[in-house]
Structure 1
């Protein structure tokens, strides 16, 4: 980020207590009392109910659709950091220009400075004291068109609302109570494996086939045309970017064994954009998986065709870039939103990355992350995102963010067998583009992947594994057709899917078929 070290940005500091006002017989209420009444906090439980109601009625929640008082209350009950999206005033289709037009352009920078100038003027006029964001007064992102300041003045929000340079403003770190989604129970809003990824103790020989040199191919590969597609492509010379919880340093096949068996002349790179700590002190937490989810997704995409008896990935000769952008699969904290946004910029800038796989998300939109998705998309990346996974208590909810975005390809999981039945914990809905078979009809067994360590496979379920599988299939297709662009790849995947030319209201174009996409049959 660009840090503005010399800016005089005073931010009004207000007490967070509640105020009581006793009416006197005078007909006029003092202005100060009106301001105090206006700025009473809306309790977090009431804000959460607004969010829940919006999710049930519309499938999303947008901060900009709420009153300034709701946003101010959310700020006051988090860390007071406000994310403000900007663009030149009255610019047509600004979202389509993110990642193409530089925010270092003087016209864009002037818009950011105008917003900061307004905040300064508002605070100074109110006689407020100065607050800092870390060691600085404000931060303007170097690549994405947003800035962040600490704000606890309702008047600032009101003024932002009227500025044509402002695209949105949102509290960075307010966290919704996810137990409300699950009727007061612990909300397991993530992949079946969650943040554990142990070897499968009861793996049946019916759930895999052994292929040379001694790798295990998951039971669903033949049903998805993946095993057949390997005669034409194994993903070589294609780089897939994975944004997740990182990869385990204890899984050799994602380390020194990444080039082993029949997987050679390729590479794995590991980055960490997730930070721990608070706004006054943060540090990067490294690329290593501390959850297990990212290791499993990396295994599905690109585990080597190994000789040690472990699982093989869909695109076992593809290059892989793992970015630890989040600590778990719910992108709900301010640090996770920062980490995922930074990961998307990192991968968006890399010319070698063709595909980005995101088996992570949140129940409602975040504009900072959305800007980062558009940044990568506008640079030609094909972005697959999980439609959502949760317990049966929350299956009423549809597709999650960022799979809801037009710039992403939403994927969910279905059971094997005739007809379409989503997996026990998978979300579906009108935003779904493709499905992947990833749950056995009788045993409910999930596909194989890499465990956190060792040579015995784990299993992983939900829309997470469906998304990673779809990313691997796209890598097979792009490897065979290296001169195609994103639109050609996506069109081929669509026209060879099971339900095409019809589109189902819950399952999109239906099951992907790698063999058909590559012209095997």
Structure 2
């Protein structure tokens, strides 16, 4: 049976290539080559993994029609269609033909699927040129692939990590609770320094001269958006006591764009509260108050903060998580007060709707920091993850505190990395102190996640010191203060930022 599936994959690839060259191909006739049963998820994931291992990338546009259709069928038949007159035509507000193109595509799908519009249309985006539809027939996908106004077609609810776990039961899951935890820890005295009024400055901050930079800037007046799993309702320093100690006169806003449902058509979010722990750690790293409670302080302790619960965990697997992140990017993109966006989540391959969201926010002047990747038990072969590999984002990874550059035990590196942050003790393995999920408790957090949040905080210090600057000027100043500037290391970008130099 497996041999037959591989033959089918090869044959379907031949069909797609042949059809591309012949505009007069009979769609109904070519669709006969499809097996009526979708190919197994194990084979679909194998094709994804092979592409990532060989090229560092996977895009659904490169998959055969058989693989694309099969993945859609395994994902509730849900398909995302990004449309526009060209590849850059993703912003609905700047797309004069968006309504016309959308209507034409929907009419074509209705005609091919032979159903009413309300039976197949799941979602129309308000800001981006994309729709989500239910598609059953491979012929429909073939028509869409030939349409000049279709930028991409992707299975919207194909859960790669879930299937990877199911197909490899001996491996630990990299989805589910990935990146989550509600642990607390008693901090080693070697891992912090007490600063006024009674806060703990993490040891990692001193590796980048952040405490010295506080003499010039505390992040006041700058708003940072954090896209993650939300904020713990049990951590008062990220709630009612956000203005505590030397942190005053600032605001924190919390939103939720994640829909916790197995049904794609569900639209009710489960609110802004963190149910994972990861989001609380990241927000703490960026902007926890310089408090009187003896708890860890954030890098930009006077910055304003906007948090989004956009996903259940750090691995963006499936429709509602990917849509939640997309909506968080457009929400922050539309907020004129936001200057910086930090996201310590991602995927091992491209997701069109998230890519559109990133570009939407980028075009509105936001400086976007994304995690380069933190390994799970079966993603060690992956380089820099999506969307950190995008040119519109600043990619960050973590290092050990060694004399030479050495990435942390679970961190990814590669040519797309822009900056690094020291966040792991080589002697003890201890990482960066942060606020715990619970009030009056602290914890350690590591990986490229905390490295990214730390760098976003440094950007807030620089922008607060130079409030009239553009994101390009802020980014340039950060590069100029980094170890390798003006060169770029092939694995670690510009290297470690010296926050003191960056704010002087």
Q: If the length of structure 2 is used for normalisation, what is the TM-score?
A: 0.90
Pick aligned residue for 2:372 from 369, 387, 405: 387
- Residues 163-214 of structure 1 show CA distances to partners (whole Å, capped at 9, x for unaligned) of 11000000100111344998951144799x921132213x211110001110
Q: Structure 1 residues 120, 391: closer, same or farther in 2, change over 3 A?
A: closer
Query: What is the aligned partner in structure 2 of residue 102 from structure 1?
Result: 93
- Aligned pair in 2 of structure 1 residues 388, 37: CA closer, same or farther (>3 Å)? closer
Partner of 2:57: 60
SS of 1:488's equivalent in the other structure is helix
Q: Which residue does 2:67 correspond to in 1?
A: 70
Deviations 1:417-471 (A, max 9, x none): 2110000010111110100010112111101111001213111000000000000
Q: 1:12-161 maps to which residues of 2 (within 5 A)? A: 35=32, 37-88=34-85, 91=86, 94-95=87-88, 98-99=90-91, 102=93, 106-124=96-114, 129-130=115-116, 132=118, 137-161=121-145
Task: After TM superposition, list the pairs within 5 Å mapping 1:75-474 onto structure 2.
Answer: 75-88=72-85, 91=86, 94-95=87-88, 98-99=90-91, 102=93, 106-124=96-114, 129-130=115-116, 132=118, 137-176=121-160, 177-179=163-165, 184-188=170-174, 194-201=179-186, 203-277=187-261, 278-391=263-376, 394-474=379-459
Q: How large is the Cα RMSD of the aligned pairs?
A: 2.1
CA distance in 1: counterparts of 2:233 and 2:347, whole angstroms? 27
Counterpart-to-counterpart distance in 2, 1:221 and 1:457: 16
**Counterparts in 2 of 1:48 and 1:236: CA distance versus 1, 3 Å:** same
- CA change 1:200–1:81 in 2 (3 A) is same
- Kept in 1, the 8 Å contact 2:289–2:298? The answer is yes
Farther off after superposition, 206-215 or 182-191: 182-191
Unpaired runs of 5+ residues, structure 2, are 1-27
8 Å CA contact 1:300–1:468 kept in 2: the answer is yes
- Give 1:365 deviation, angstroms: 0.7
- The count of aligned residue pairs is 474
Change (3 A) 1:194 1:120: closer
Match of 2:193, SS?
strand
Q: 1:40 offset after TM fit, Å?
A: 3.8
Which residues of structure 1 form unaligned runs of 5+? 1-30
* Contact persistence 2:232–2:438 (CA under 8 A): yes
Q: Is the 8 A contact 2:57 2:350 kept in 1?
A: yes
Maintained 8 Å contact 1:238/1:475: yes
Q: Measure, in 1, the Cα distance between the counterparts of 2:176 and 2:494.
A: 24
| Runs of 4+ in structure 1 over 6 Å off | 31-34, 180-183
TM-score by length of 1: 0.87
- Hey, what's the Cα distance between the residues in 1 that align with 2:444 and 2:31? 59
SS in 2 for 1:240: strand
Higher helix share: 2
Q: Is the 8 A contact 2:264 2:319 kept in 1?
A: no
- Indicate conservation of the 8 Å contact 2:244/2:291, yes or no: yes
- Residue 276 of structure 1 aligns to a residue in which SS? coil
Asked whether the 8 Å contact 2:34–2:66 carries over to 1, the reply is no
> For residues 482-516 of structure 1, what are the alpha-carbon distances to aligned partners after superposition, in whole Å with 9 as ceiling and x for unaligned?
00001000011111101112211110110111011
- The answer to whether the 8 Å contact 1:309/1:456 transfers is no
1:52 CA drift (Å)? 1.1
Give how far 1:36 is off. 7.5
